[in-house]
Amino acid sequence: MIIIMLGAQGTGKGTVAGYISDKTGIKQLSTGDVFRKNINEKTPLGIEADKYISKGNLVPDDITVPMVVGYLDSDMAKDGIILDGFPRTMAQAEKLDEILTQRGKKVDLVINLVTPREEIIDRILTRRVCSNQTCKATYNTKLHPPKVEGICDKCGSPLVQRDDDKSSEAINQRLETYEKKTAPLIDFYKEKGVLRTEEVSSRINRLGKEVAEDIVKDIL
């Protein structure tokens, strides 16, 4: 099963994708996590990606697409995959369709998460992530704090704030980029009949875990 996570940063894509992965066994590929790991390790891929991510811009297709194809052709995707962070443009979506068709596959489900803008900004500014790259647990100092401040519940590693989560200016730039380049994918997948839109917001008391639980019930 090929699942795509759509939604602006801070809508809970990682939380929802992680829960679905845990319950179904379908592996999750977060392109953002891959880029950040490479940035931290200062690999050639990371150095190039950081030029764009640090400014709130999308990483170009000639960097992103080959990386994703590599994962699609690996054992990681043998039972399907949850793509979190790809595609982000119409060109990427069309390229993904082409790649999957060549492999006799297709996109089965697109989960589109929506959250009020002011809530997104607050969530990102208060988001903390595990510094252990093999854990990658995510917390929020307001909505989902760790049991011990600054320490991951799962592995005991220090929690950190991503560099691109520290600036309201960079966050707003990312949101504007999303609305301009990624939002058109909503209509693209709606026309294909695979889109499922869910609101994730504290104002309706419905967060990522509740959304994920409902989706898993429908998948299994």
Decide if 123 is catalytic. no
Residue that is written with structure tokens 């839109």 in the block? 197
Please tell me what DSSP assigns to residue 165. Answer: G
CB 4 within 8 A of CB 110: yes
Is-catalytic flag, 88? yes
Catalytic residue among 37, 162, 181, 190: 162
Q: Phi/psi class of residue 132: alpha, beta or left (left: φ > 0; alpha: ψ in -120 to 50)?
A: beta
Which of the residues 95, 123, 136, 174 is marked catalytic?
174
Catalytic residue at 117?
no
Three-state SS for 15-79 is HHHHHHHHHHCCEEEEHHHHHHHHHHCCCHHHHHHHHHHCCCCCCCHHHHHHHHHHHHCCHHHEC
User: Of these residues, 36, 88, 123, 136, which one is catalytic?
Assistant: 88
- State how far Cα 206 lies from the chain centre: 19
Go through 95-123 and write b for each residue having 16 or more CB atoms within 10 A of its CB, e for each that does not: bbbeeeeeeebebebbbbbebeeebbbbb
| DSSP 8-state symbol, 91 | H
The tokens 């019930």 sit on which residue?
Answer: 217
Q: Are 162 and 50 in contact (CB under 8 A)?
A: no
**Cα(196)–Cα(5) distance, integer angstroms:** 10
Residues with catalytic function: 13, 88, 127, 162, 174
